[in-house]
Amino acid sequence: MRALLIPFAIIYHLITAFRNWLYDVGLWKSKSYDFPVIGVGNLKTGGTGKTPMAIYLLNHLKGRDLAMLSRGYGRRTSGFRLVSLTDAAKDVGDEPALIKTAVPSTLVAVDENRVHGVTSILKMDTTINTLILDDVFQHRAVNPGHMILLTVYDDLYVNDLVLPAGSLRESSRGASRANTIVVTKCPKDLSQQQRNDVINKLSTQAHQEVFFAFEEHGKLRRVGQSDDVVDLSSADNILLVTGIAKTDSILKHLHGQKIEHLKFRDHHAFTVQNVKSMKAQFEQLPSGNNLIVTTQKDAQRLQSLLQNENFAKLPIYAIEHQMELLSTDREAFQLRIDEYINSH
């Protein structure tokens, strides 16, 4: 099947390569700024950890006048919009809603036109001195001063093809635009030899530095009731509900638990019928202390539906999840970001 798609992938590659060439030679303009702008992005379609990385950066840079701009993928609105703690995911996108919940002191906004979005933020708050742009690698109308490219440890972009034969949004040559590359979802006990193998495969350039990160999963927090926290070990049976691109990591974390998996496509807009089906499947689980477990991102899209009195008693818990740099990389990564910030 992949072989049949290669001709279409070649066409797609030529289109994206020509578009990048227009930016590279200056026929299409990229807007740059005289204050720190950090971009977070990837070459593949979803599942690399952009949102956890954005939250990591925002937490690291607390104390500065920060703003976060995202496209707001999957929202039913358009144009520029500030994100509040009470906004539903359908209005601002699940990722911006999650980021605002995780770092409530940060100004978070959405706009599919990134230049307009940055301009609107600066007009609204003239004290902003640092900006994080989410999922911006291919949106070249804005030129971040420092670009962080993410790639998954066991799914490196150098081992993939462009769409539709693979899952790359552009050729892996585009990685040359990155200043920093973070390899995500690594084993915590990654050896130096394994690190060297990955760096050699990535064939990085002189201006680039590679860091390694892993996913940290925590306790279960009830959706809509943040003070209700339980341990995973307390569950006898679990109905796992996901609407994310890649579920390997959470399934690995749940290994050893008795689970049934109700899987939806990435960014799925949950409906009342979906929750009814969820409830029916949950009620069919063997008797015991049973839970419905979902991701923090999916919880943003489920939360408003759970206000329905028919679903209010469903024990739906989101599993806490964050990105951490390996201990050998944490200080060096933060120093690299700080050096860029302090150079402005």
> Are 202 and 286 contained in the same domain?
no
Say what the pLDDT of residue 255 is.
86
> Are 161 and 298 contained in the same domain?
no
Q: Do 301 and 269 form a contact (C-beta atoms < 8 A)?
A: yes
Residue 142 in tokens: 């804005």
Q: Do 275 and 267 form a contact (C-beta atoms < 8 A)?
A: no
> Are 47 and 141 contained in the same domain?
yes
Nearest partner of 219 among 311, 316, 117, 321, judged by Cα: 321
Quickly list H helices, the chain. 2-24, 50-60, 89-92, 94-102, 114-124, 192-202, 248-253, 272-283, 296-302, 327-342
> Are 337 and 294 contained in the same domain?
no
> Are 161 and 308 contained in the same domain?
no
Q: Is residue 203 part of a domain?
A: yes
Q: Do 29 and 328 form a contact (C-beta atoms < 8 A)?
A: no
Task: Report whether pLDDT(3) > 90.
Answer: no
Task: Report whether pLDDT(307) > 90.
Answer: no
Task: Report whether pLDDT(94) > 90.
Answer: yes
Q: DSSP readout, 266-315?
A: TT----HHHHHHHHHHHHTSPSSSEEEEEEHHHHHHHGGGGGSTTTTT--
Confidence of residue 243 (pLDDT cuts 50, 70, 90): very high
Other beta carbons within 10 angstroms of residue 15's beta carbon come to: 12
Q: How far apart are CA 344 and CA 341, in angstroms?
A: 6
pLDDT in tens, 279-304: 999 999 999 999 999 999 999 999 98
Q: Is residue 277 part of a domain?
A: yes
Q: Is residue 119 part of a domain?
A: no
Confidence of residue 308 (pLDDT cuts 50, 70, 90): confident
The crossing angle, in degrees rounded to 10, of helices 50-60 and 327-342 is 70
Q: Is residue 278 part of a domain?
A: yes
pLDDT in tens, 48-85: 999 999 999 999 999 899 999 999 998 999 999 999 99
> Are 209 and 272 contained in the same domain?
no
- Domain around 231: 223-322
Say what the pLDDT of residue 29 is.
95
Residue 260 belongs to domain with CATH number:
3.40.50
> Are 150 and 282 contained in the same domain?
no
Task: Report whether pLDDT(236) > 90.
Answer: yes
Residue 22 in tokens: 């227009």
How much is the average pLDDT of 303-325?
Answer: 91
> Are 196 and 246 contained in the same domain?
no
Nearest partner of 58 among 93, 105, 120, 123, judged by Cα: 105
> Are 180 and 54 contained in the same domain?
yes
pLDDT in tens, 249-264: 899 888 888 999 999 9
Q: Kindly tell me the burial class for residue 193, based on how many C-beta atoms sit within 10 Å of its own C-beta (0-12, 13-18, 19 or more).
A: exposed
User: What is the domain count for the chain?
Assistant: 2
Tell me the whole-structure pTM to 2 decimals. Answer: 0.94
Q: Is residue 110 part of a domain?
A: no
**Cis bond leading into 286, ω under 30°?**
no
Confidence of residue 316 (pLDDT cuts 50, 70, 90): very high
Nearest partner of 64 among 125, 146, 149, judged by Cα: 125
> Are 151 and 292 contained in the same domain?
no
Q: Is residue 123 part of a domain?
A: no
Nearest partner of 75 among 60, 92, 98, 99, judged by Cα: 92
How much is the average pLDDT of 10-34?
Answer: 96
Q: How far apart are CA 287 and CA 289, in angstroms?
A: 7
Say what the pLDDT of residue 223 is.
92
Q: Is residue 106 part of a domain?
A: no
pLDDT in tens, 161-192: 999 999 999 999 999 999 999 999 999 999 99
> Are 232 and 211 contained in the same domain?
no
Q: Are strands 259-263 and 37-42 parallel, antiparallel or unpaired?
A: unpaired
> Are 137 and 264 contained in the same domain?
no
Q: Is residue 60 part of a domain?
A: yes
Which of 100-104, 119-123, 162-166, 227-231 has the weakest average pLDDT?
227-231
